[in-house]
Each structure stands twice: as C-alpha cells, then as structure tokens.
Amino acid sequence: MARAIPTIPRKSASQERSRATVEALLDATARVLTRVGYDRASTNRIAVTAGVSVGSLYQYFPNKEALVAALVARHNREILQLVRDALEEVASLDLPTAVRAMVAAALDAHLVDPTLHRIFAEQVPRMGQLAEIEALERETFQLVRTYLEKRRREISTKDLDAATSILVTTVEALTHQFVINKPDAHGDRDRFIDEVTRLLVGYLMPRRTAKRVK
C-alpha cells in the first residue's frame, strides 16, 4: 500500500482565492469608510480599493449594505473576543475588581479602531435586523449575564436581566462617549474607569458599603 497521502483538510486553491478576495473587500470597505464616510463609499470605489472588480464584489455580497454589515460583524467579532477574554480572566475575582476590568476591556475594545467605530456609530444606518449583528449583541448579553449569575449572591438586584441590560448599555454608552470626546485623554483614562466602576458597583452591591459601615 502506498504511503498515506496527506489529505489533511486544506482549503482548495480556489477557496483560498475566494477567502482572500473577501478579506480584501472588507479591508477596503474599512479603508474607504474611514476615508470618505458611509454615504460617499460606493461599491465601485471599494472594489477598486480592494484591487478587485465590482463583479467580484457582487459575487460575494448582494449589495452595499451586506458588505458593510459583514465588516461590522467582523469588527464586532474582534471586540467580542476581547470581552470574552476579559470576562474569562476575571471570572473568579470579586465583583468590584471584575467590573473595573470589564470597563477597562470595553474601553480597549472601543479603541481597537476608533475611527471605524465612530463611523459605525455615526453614519452607518442601523441594520438591527441583520441576524449576525443581533446574535453578537445577544452573546455579549449572555456572557455578562452568566458572569452575574455566578456572583448572584453578591448582587442586590434580583432581576438579572434588567441588571445585565443596564450594565451593558451603560458601559457601552459611557465608553463610547469617552472615546468620541476625548480621543487622546490618556491621563483621564483611569479616572474615567474609576467613575464608571463606582457607578456600576454602587448599583450592583449597595449594601456592601452599608454593612461595612455598620
């Protein structure tokens, strides 16, 4: 019998080419988006920037929105990974420390590509309906909720869903606003994290302070 031919599942040449094209298109979309904004980002321009023909663009994305949505999804996936890692690291720590770490992680997440993030926030029409994006939001929710569940006893609020929702929304909003308004406030970073942490910890475990005082 002949020597076993290595057939480890390898992407066929064409599959790799496809993948490369898709990546090039997403990169180009990001570049064009940051350079000229959403409205002036045409599919033709994106294709040219990607070094690919418009036809190829439409081979992989049915329309402009889908293209941008895919980019958003990719971006969100990266961010989600940061959040996931952060939560994993703090899984065993006490709540205040964990919250602080999470806020820091959220801030880092917002700084992955701030320009792009800003574009997404300010210009890209919300396509909440897009399944993938919603899924990512739901996963973030779940990750946080799961963590809170483990710490349930330390938390005063009984409605975990509400607490999670408030947590996620608040962190997102404050982080976002901080990054938008102080793009280079390196010094303020820690103070900002302190404040937000205080806000959230005070919400989740108000008794703590009380008991101590007693």
Of residues 61-100, those binding DNA (CB under 7 A): 62-64
Instruction: Give the residue with the Cβ less far from a second copy, 8 or 184.
Output: 184
What is the distance, to the nearest Å, from the Cα of residue 146 to the centroid of all Cα atoms in its chain? 18
Q: How far is residue 79's CA from residue 105's CA, in Å, rounded to a whole number?
A: 9
> Binding marks (x or -) toward DNA, 127..146, rule CB under 7 A?
--------------------
Q: Name the residues that contact a second copy, by CB under 8 A.
A: 37-39, 121-123, 125-126, 128, 157, 159, 162-163, 165-166, 169-170, 172-174, 177, 191-192, 195-196, 198-199, 202-203, 206-207, 209-214
Is 203:166 a contact under the CB 8 Å cutoff?
yes
| Residue 173 binds which entry of a second copy, DNA, none, CB below 5-8 Å type-dependent | a second copy
Instruction: Give the residue with the Cβ less far from a second copy, 3 or 211.
Output: 211
Spell out a b/e string for 178-211, using b for 16 or more CB atoms within 10 Å of the CB, else e.
bbeeeeeeeeeeeebbeebbeebbebbbeeeeee
Is 182:188 a contact under the CB 8 Å cutoff?
yes
The one segment of 33-41, 86-94, 179-187, 205-213 that binds DNA by CB under 7 A: 33-41
Taking CB under 7 A as the rule, does residue 14 contact DNA?
yes
Distances 86 to 10, 16, 109 between C-alpha atoms, Å:
32, 32, 10
Residues at the contact surface with DNA, assessed by CB under 7 A: 13-15, 17-18, 20-21, 39-45, 52-60, 62-64
